[in-house]
Amino acid sequence: MSEVIGAVEEAYKAFNADQVVQPDYIGIDLHPPRGDIDFKLGYYKGNEIISMKASSGGFPNNPVTYGVPSGMGTILLFDAQTCALICVMDGSLITGLRTGASGAVSVKALARKNAKKITSIGTGNQARMQIRAINEIMRVEVIHAWDHTPESLAKFKADIEREFGIPVVTAHSKQDAVEQADILITTTRGKGSVVEADWIKPGTHIVAIGTDAKGKQELDPEVFRNAKVVVDSILQCTEKGETQHPLGRNIIAKDGIHAEIGEVLLGTKPGRESDDEITIFDSTGMAIQDNTTSTRIYRNAIERNVGTFFEFIQ
């Protein structure tokens, strides 16, 4: 995970240093109860690698009827010198890892230095990934967690306490949990109730992960009114990130977005400037994160002679 955090930092900086080409993605929507599959392409001039990730999601019948996950991913890497295919790897775990790492990168750049308490709204896989990543870069004193499913909440508490030794307080309400936060992480599916603006205390850093499509929402758009808003990609976040909602209601204007996170990491825009600011990091996920993360995994695999070699061209 510490390497993934480095890879994601590199990705964000590269994106804002004009080192990245990320065309629009293409996809196929299948007939319900099936979901969709999309293909995201990223070229990074820094490593001369082109990555293509195929990601599917929304196939609820997969586990029981077909014995495969409800969403899957595959990553291809091409050497940009020749466009030869150099690697085929699974993309599901990598998506989880690089998304977890994105929260940690934003915490380094935007959270208060004395932040100790995390609130996790959502207790699924990605909530765990966020904790795993943030735990690499700071000492977490306590996690307040909330989920609308009590079983999921109890399992999250048990798992996190066992894996990381961080005490987890299972909150009685979403409001109770949010009010405790130095760092608030939202990783729900973006289809339930929202976090209300007046629950959030000054100085909170918000990591908004769950909203990655039009119509999804995790935060009351009023949260954005007096917050410092940082996004991974303005293009993506204004369309399908949490930022779509305050923009749509004219709570903020597009030029009210403070920065893309790569600008903060490169030092061309300031990060947090006071202990009272509310900062929001809106993450939709970029192809270049898949590129830098999978390239690092590929290089580690080559170095350690892990994987299977295959000749397509005889």
Name the residue nearer to a second copy (CB basis): 169 or 213: 213
Beta carbons within 8 Å of 123's beta carbon, 6+ residues apart? 145, 146, 147, 149, 152, 153, 155, 156
Residues 166 to 205 in contact with a second copy, rule: CB under 8 A:
none
Name the residue nearer to a second copy (CB basis): 66 or 268: 66
**Minimum CB distance to a second copy, residue 202 (Å):** 44
- Bridge partners, residue 41, by sequence: 52
Identified binder of a second copy from the candidate list 1, 17, 88, 142, rule CB under 8 A: 88
Identified binder of a second copy from the candidate list 35, 46, 96, 256, rule CB under 8 A: 35
- 190 touches 209 (CB < 8 A): no
Letters for 4-33 (x = contact with a second copy by CB under 8 A, - = none) are: -----------------x-xxxxxx-x---
Query: Which position has the token pair 């109730």?
Result: 193
Written as one letter, the residue type at 16 is N
**Which among 264, 196, 260, 265 has a CA at the least distance from the CA of 232?**
260
53 assigned to active site: yes
- Bridge partners, residue 282, by sequence: 208, 231
**Strands 168-170, 228-231: parallel, antiparallel or unpaired by DSSP?**
unpaired
Catalytic residue among 13, 40, 45, 53: 53
Residues 267 to 296 in contact with a second copy, rule: CB under 8 A:
none
**Collapsed DSSP state (helix, strand, coil) of residue 249:** coil
Identified binder of a second copy from the candidate list 5, 13, 47, 62, rule CB under 8 A: 62
Tokens of 218: 């995790």
Beta carbons within 8 Å of 188's beta carbon, 6+ residues apart? 121, 122, 210, 218
Range in contact with a second copy (rule: CB under 8 A) among 88-96, 111-119, 128-136, 138-146: 88-96
- 106 touches 11 (CB < 8 A): no
- 247 touches 253 (CB < 8 A): yes
Site for a second copy contains 90 (CB under 8 A): yes
Query: Which position has the token pair 């977005």?
Result: 257
**Minimum CB distance to a second copy, residue 182 (Å):** 37
Helix residue ranges per DSSP H, 196-285: 234-240, 244-248, 261-266
Range in contact with a second copy (rule: CB under 8 A) among 152-160, 214-222, 262-270, 306-314: 306-314
Backbone angles phi, psi at 199, to 5 degrees: -80, -20
Identified binder of a second copy from the candidate list 4, 14, 50, 209, rule CB under 8 A: 50
Mark 88-122 as b/e (b = at least 16 C-beta within 10 Å): ebebbebbbbbbbbbbbbbbbbbbbeebebbbbbb
Name the residue nearer to a second copy (CB basis): 67 or 150: 67
Name the residue nearer to a second copy (CB basis): 22 or 135: 22
Identified binder of a second copy from the candidate list 16, 47, 56, 102, rule CB under 8 A: 56
**Minimum CB distance to a second copy, residue 87 (Å):** 11
Identified binder of a second copy from the candidate list 1, 17, 72, 266, rule CB under 8 A: 72
**Minimum CB distance to a second copy, residue 96 (Å):** 13
Binding site for a second copy (CB under 8 A): 21, 23-28, 30, 34-35, 37, 39, 41, 43, 50, 52, 54, 56, 59, 62, 66, 68-69, 71-72, 74, 76, 78, 80-85, 88-90, 92, 308, 310, 312-313
- Which residues have a catalytic role annotated? 53
